[in-house]
Amino acid sequence: MAATPTDAAPAPAAGSGMMAPPADSRPYDPKLLRLAEILGAIHYLRELCGANEGQFWRDTMQELMKTEGSTAIRRSRLTRSFNQGYRSYSRTYNVCTPSARSTIDRFLTEGAEIADGLSTGNH
């Protein structure tokens, strides 16, 4: 009798033609991944604009990874989102401009709103 692996890929949802979400996904993952992307962007932009915060935003991301990175796949997704935010803005801004400062302010607000929503269960 052949054993069936318990961690096999999920079967397609009946009649949908699409794969079911991975077992380690959460309903709030899109917001969580957006928060990781924002943290990456803020990490780059604040440093560019002379905030002198060292690794504060990267450390904040590490804390997020500790609480939400329960599997290698989740950690990979979070890391990819953080790096995407960092790289996107490093390609856009080489010097601190009023637009970069405005982006920082907007991301600080959006990130705080997402974090508050996640912490209160308003996914």
Going by C-alpha positions, the residue among 49, 89, 85 that lies closest to residue 64 is 85
Q: Is residue 16 part of a domain?
A: no
pLDDT band at residue 26 using 50, 70 and 90 as cut-offs:
confident
pLDDT band at residue 18 using 50, 70 and 90 as cut-offs:
low
Helices (H) and strands (E) in the chain, counts: 4, 0
Q: Is residue 11 part of a domain?
A: no
Q: Are 20 and 13 in contact (CB under 8 A)?
A: yes
Going by C-alpha positions, the residue among 116, 118, 115, 93 that lies closest to residue 43 is 93
Q: Is residue 53 part of a domain?
A: yes
Does pTM top 0.85 for this prediction?
A: no
Share of the chain above pLDDT 90, in %: 69
Other beta carbons within 10 angstroms of residue 13's beta carbon come to: 11
User: For residue 55, what are the domain limits?
Assistant: 29-119
Q: Are 46 and 53 in contact (CB under 8 A)?
A: yes
Going by C-alpha positions, the residue among 42, 96, 97 that lies closest to residue 64 is 42
Q: Are 41 and 88 in contact (CB under 8 A)?
A: yes
Q: Is residue 19 part of a domain?
A: no
83-123: per-residue pLDDT in tens? Answer: 999 999 999 999 999 999 999 999 999 999 999 999 887 66
* Count of domains forming the chain: 1
Q: Which two tokens stand for residue 33?
A: 């991944």
